[in-house]
Structure 1
Amino acid sequence: HSSFTGPKSKTLNLSHPNLVCGLAPLRRTTRRRNPPEALSNSMAEEVPQSLNYIPEVILKKRKNNEEWAIRRKLQLEQKVKRLKSDNFVIKKPEQFIREYRDKEMDLIQMKQRGKNRSRRAFVTSESSLLFVIRIGGKSDMHPRTRKLLYSLRLRKIFNGVFVKADARILEILQKVEPFVTYGYPNLKSIKDLIYKKGAGKIDNQRVPLTSNEVVEQALGQNGILCLEDVVTEIANVGPHFKEVTSFLCPFALNKPEKALQGKKKRFSDGGDSGNCEDHINELVSKMN
């Protein structure tokens, strides 16, 4: 092996394979390592950041706002649709004045009926059971009259309820006489109403009386286990009459085929309102 040296030069190995082939020797390279600071910065970027905490109150408020916005949008759409429909009628000022006068007149007449002892509601039957049907009352009714009807749970026209004819009920019936008709239901009418139109309220939900399980669930603690027990308790005005009538929803009767004549005229004077005694059974059969 030959080698040469020169001034200020390093000794070269001519036997190196790269020199034999006429190539320069390869230098050994090393990878630069990231400094500790750069490494820590890159790791910090890779670590996912935690989400911001949002209180539950804000989330609920946001949800309520969204639901309100949806309801408001639907209301506006329905309003626009109602305005565009042909059935929409704009009331004239004269109509508002007439309705206001009717309400004030109803209030005056209600006070007069309360003071007039000769026209008080009366019960001629030995039974203290009454069936009351609302037959009128809308825009011409004073808010006080509406409140009395609501106390009887008669919120809609042609709703019917069973009541016990005590002094308080008779006083209310006297004041709302132009808007209701009532009488003495027989056993057949009671059964037909319970079995055909009967519904109870469980957990603020209207449940049809299609089985005895519904009755037992609501009134079992009072010893009332079936529909026949409900009929018996109402017909006899038993000790649990209040619990039974509170459980029963108002009966939604059908509109009679023949319109009622003289709604605000007393039955004794040839109208339909007030005490119609046993004739209530005929009206129930037409509306059931």
Structure 2
Amino acid sequence: MAEEEAKPLAYIAETVLKKRKSTEAFALARKAQLETGGKYEHNKKKKKEIHDIKRPEQFVKEFRDQELDLIRMKQRGKRSKSATVKPKSELLFIARIQGKNDMHPKTRKILYNLRLRRMFCGVFVKASDRVLQMLQKVEPYVTYGYPNLKNVKELIYKKGYGNLENQRVPLTDNNIIEQALGKYGIICIEDMVHEIANVGPHFKEVMTFLGPFFLNKPEGLLGKKQPYKDGGEAGNREDHINELIEKMN
């Protein structure tokens, strides 16, 4: 009887073999996990879900905090203009350091108008009566002062992003700046720094292009809503804002 021809072994790709091995290893690990700590993890998850449910007392407290915030905001808004310190510089840097559930919607709206939509973000603004009135109303949630040229430059270089076609674009190429601001004679980062630091004629256009700066959380929680001059963290820091910028940049 003639010997039968040997059949070639079925070829299995290496990637398929690796996938089988990893799937088997995962199945064994999952089985061991369920046998040892599965019940504990299930109970832990269940407790977490229970804690996530808000009690009526929490809603009442949040509502009262918001109403109290509105009353205080109106009181701050009634301060006489003589009580408002006249700015020493046309350029202000504002950083949001507070504000979560205890804010009234009107307070949040003012912060949004200042483009401070999240904690630990900052913007450059031109000092005006309108801006100072807004800052007076939201003083417990922000701190501000007069940035120097060094910090203006470092903020733009390290944290600067441009708004181009409704997208945040890092300022890695001067062509991006020229494309957005070239018609105003601003074609590079140094031109932007000069325009902002000197509050030039196209300051508004530059700040419209330049998005808010997302800053680092400084060491030590900024938890005191009292004015900076009274030992707190909020309000006008004047030239001392530069120390905070260096910590958050």
Distance in 2 of aligned mates of 1:236 and 1:200: 20
Q: Identify which range, 89-98 or 240-249, moves more after superposition.
A: 89-98
Alpha-carbon deviation of 1:84? 5.5
User: Residue 180 of structure 1 corresponds to which residue in structure 2?
Assistant: 142
| Whole-angstrom CA distance in 2 between matches of 1:157 and 1:178 | 13
CA 1:165–1:85 in structure 2 vs 1: closer, same or farther (change >3 Å)?
farther
**Contact 1:121–1:173 (CA under 8 A) maintained in structure 2:** no
- For 1:132-185, what per-residue CA distance to the aligned partner results, in whole angstroms no more than 9, with x for missing partners? 001111100000000000000100001100000101101100001010000000
Give every structure 1 segment of 4 or more consecutive aligned residues whose post-TM-superposition deviation is greater than 6 Å: none
Mark the CA change 1:251 to 1:239 in structure 2 (over 3 Å): closer, same or farther. Answer: same
- The aligned residue for residue 202 of structure 1 is 164
1:84-135 Cα distance to aligned partner (Å, 9 max, x none): 583762222111111100100010011110111278542341x210000011
Q: Is there any run of 5+ residues in structure 1 with no aligned partner, and where?
A: 1-82
1:161-180 mapped onto 2 (5 Å cutoff):
161-180=123-142
Distance (Å, rounded) in 2 between the aligned partners of 1:121 and 1:254: 30
Give the counterpart letter for 1:90 in structure 2.
I
CA RMSD in angstroms comes to: 1.6
CA radius of gyration, larger in: 1
- Say yes or no: does 1:113 pair with 2:113: no
Q: Which has the higher contact order (CA 8 A, sep 6+)?
A: 2
Q: Which amino acid counterpart does residue 285 of structure 1 have in structure 2?
A: E
Q: Please give the secondary structure, in 2, of the residue aligned with 1:86.
A: helix
Identical amino acids, percent of aligned pairs: 64
Verify the 8 A CA contact 2:160 2:210 in the aligned structure 1.
yes
Amino acid at match of 1:183: G
Asked whether 1:102 is paired with 2:65, we answer yes
Q: Which has the higher helix share?
A: 2
Give me the whole-angstrom Cα distance separating, in 1, the residues matched to 2:138 and 2:244: 19
Question: Do 1:120 and 1:174's aligned partners in 2 also have CA atoms closer than 8 Å?
Answer: no
Q: Which runs of 5+ in 2 are unaligned?
A: 1-44
Aligned position for 1:269: 230
Contact 2:116 2:122 in 1 (8 A): yes
TM-score, normalising length: structure 1: 0.68
**Structure 1 residues 1-288: aligned runs within 5 Å:** 86=48, 89-117=52-80, 120-125=83-88, 127-262=89-224, 264-288=225-249
Q: Deviations over 1:164-219 (max 9, x none)?
A: 01011011000010100000000011011000000000000000011111110100
* Structure 1 CA distance for aligned equivalents of residues 83 and 115 of structure 2: 21
